[in-house]
Amino acid sequence: MEKPSTYSYVGMKVAPRKAQPKRFAFPMMKAMKYGYSNARAKAMKSLLLKKEFVLELVRMRTPSEVIERLERTYYKDALVKLSMNYHSSDLVQVAGIVHFAKVVAKLGAVMPEGDRPVFNSLLAKWDIMNAKTLLNARRAGESYLKVAPFLIPIGSFHEKEAKAIVEGKSGEIFKLFIKSHLGKRILSSKVARAVEIEALFNRMDTSDIIKLETILDSFYYQLHRSAEFSSPELRPMVRMLRKEIDLKNATVIARLKKHGITDARAILKYIFKNGIKTPDIFRQIIDAKGDSDTLKRIAEVFEFKTVPSSIWELELIVGKKLATERHRAFYGSVLSAGPVLGFLFLIEEEMNNLRKIMVGKEFGVSSDKIEEMLVFP
């Protein structure tokens, strides 16, 4: 057998080692791949409104004082431009949407090419929010012009489709919806049969709206099982989404039971799949007698510190737990798209907090009560 050749290094003869895998090649490549995009996301995160500042807004006496204070932040340009057409909570909400769309555009521009599919999949969340806004506007008899400014301009709905869903003829809503990009994706995903969705669209009572929203959410919550999310570095993000599925399931069960739907099979039909909790655990919640017992069972299953006294309180607790999970996802892995994707959820939470403050001020809600409603990571 031929002896290995040698090479000289500072007068020493050293036999070359067998070829070793480059241990640091992948981390270095990932650091180069994600370094710029994640640095941008973290820089933008540092500019988010601090908790102390948000609580200052809560202590303001009037909506106009809140807006005046916000004009000293990065919301200034949007608030000034929109102030001719919008006022009070509408002004802040629309300004928040405009700012959010700009943030999404900036993050999309720096997102590494290979992670664009993941980024686009998560953007489906806001497409679904737009669909819910359109459906509820339809049911409330509102005009498209009134609801249009509150649509987040990053979804797939074209103006013609969106307007038709709100103002089109009753028997045609389903046909209009399935022609949209989102409608086509939902039908191809098979989260629900076309005939079932059509029946819900035709009736559109309160329980039907809940079921339609659940179908929309089911589509979103199955996206994390696609190949785009298979990267090990995205595990913190996927785990966050799976925990969100479980918490949303608890909320769906409570809401459906509140509206008189108590049959286990009927409820389980609208439970989101691919969470962490097993169906048996959710059956325990479904089998609970009455609203208070249901909320108590949910608190036990998810180890809440307190038992919610209403669905409103349940949704508040769920929101706070999700904010914590999203914050963890932001820091889950610096060598992945996690920080960029996590930042989307953090900026959304900021928008929600500002909306709660403004609406609370308009309706004379006490500062302490408004503070209870806010969600911080």
Q: What's the CATH number where 60 sits?
A: 1.10.132.50
- Which residue blocks in the chain are alpha helix, DSSP H? 25-46, 51-59, 63-70, 76-82, 88-110, 116-140, 144-147, 159-167, 173-179, 181-189, 194-203, 206-221, 235-258, 264-268, 279-287, 290-301, 311-331, 338-362, 367-373
The rounded distance, in Å, linking the Cα atoms of 123 and 181 is: 13
| Cβ–Cβ under 8 Å, residues 338 and 330 | yes
| Residue 14 host element (H or E) | strand 12-14
Residue 342's CB is within 10 A of a number of other CB atoms, namely 24
pLDDT value, residue 350: 92
CA atoms within 13 A on the CB side of 309: 0
> Band of the pLDDT at 200, cuts 50, 70, 90?
confident
Nearest 10 degrees: Cα torsion 198, 204, 208, 209: 110
| Cβ–Cβ under 8 Å, residues 101 and 355 | no
- What would the pLDDT profile of 140-194 be if each residue is shown by its tens digit? 889 999 999 999 888 777 888 888 888 888 777 888 888 888 888 888 888 888 8
> Band of the pLDDT at 70, cuts 50, 70, 90?
very high
Question: 299 lies in a domain?
Answer: no
Question: 135 lies in a domain?
Answer: no
Residue 234 pLDDT greater than 90, yes or no: no
> Band of the pLDDT at 29, cuts 50, 70, 90?
low
Question: 88 lies in a domain?
Answer: yes
Question: 68 lies in a domain?
Answer: yes
Calculate mean pLDDT across residues 59-78: 94
Question: 317 lies in a domain?
Answer: no
Residue 4 pLDDT greater than 60, yes or no: no
pLDDT value, residue 333: 58
| Cβ–Cβ under 8 Å, residues 65 and 88 | no
Structure tokens belonging to residue 331: 């820091």
pLDDT value, residue 139: 84
Return the residue matching tokens 């939470």. 349
CA atoms within 13 A on the CB side of 180: 23
Question: 318 lies in a domain?
Answer: no
> Band of the pLDDT at 44, cuts 50, 70, 90?
confident
Residue type, 190: K
**What secondary structure, in 3-state letters, does 246-306 show?**
HHHHHHHHHHHHHCCCCCHHHHHCCCCCCCCCCHHHHHHHHHCCHHHHHHHHHHHHCCCCC
% of the chain residues with pLDDT over 90? 33
Question: 165 lies in a domain?
Answer: no
Residues 6+ apart with CB under 8 A from 331: 338, 339, 342
Residue 65 pLDDT greater than 90, yes or no: yes
- What would the pLDDT profile of 90-124 be if each residue is shown by its tens digit? 999 999 999 998 888 888 887 777 777 778 778 88
Task: For residue 76, give its domain range.
Answer: 49-111+338-377
Question: 306 lies in a domain?
Answer: no
27 class by beta-carbon count within 10 Å (0-12 exposed, 13-18 middle, 19+ buried): exposed
Number of domains in the chain: 1
Claim: this prediction has a pTM higher than 0.85: no
Calculate mean pLDDT across residues 215-226: 83
Lowest mean pLDDT among 246-260, 282-296, 322-336, 341-355: 322-336
Calculate mean pLDDT across residues 276-283: 91
Q: Choose between 232 and 331: higher pLDDT.
A: 232
| Cβ–Cβ under 8 Å, residues 268 and 282 | yes
Is the four-CA dihedral 65, 68, 69, 70 of positive or negative sign?
A: positive
pLDDT value, residue 16: 43
Residue type, 4: P
Question: Quick one: which of 245, 238, 195 has its CA closest to 219?
Answer: 245
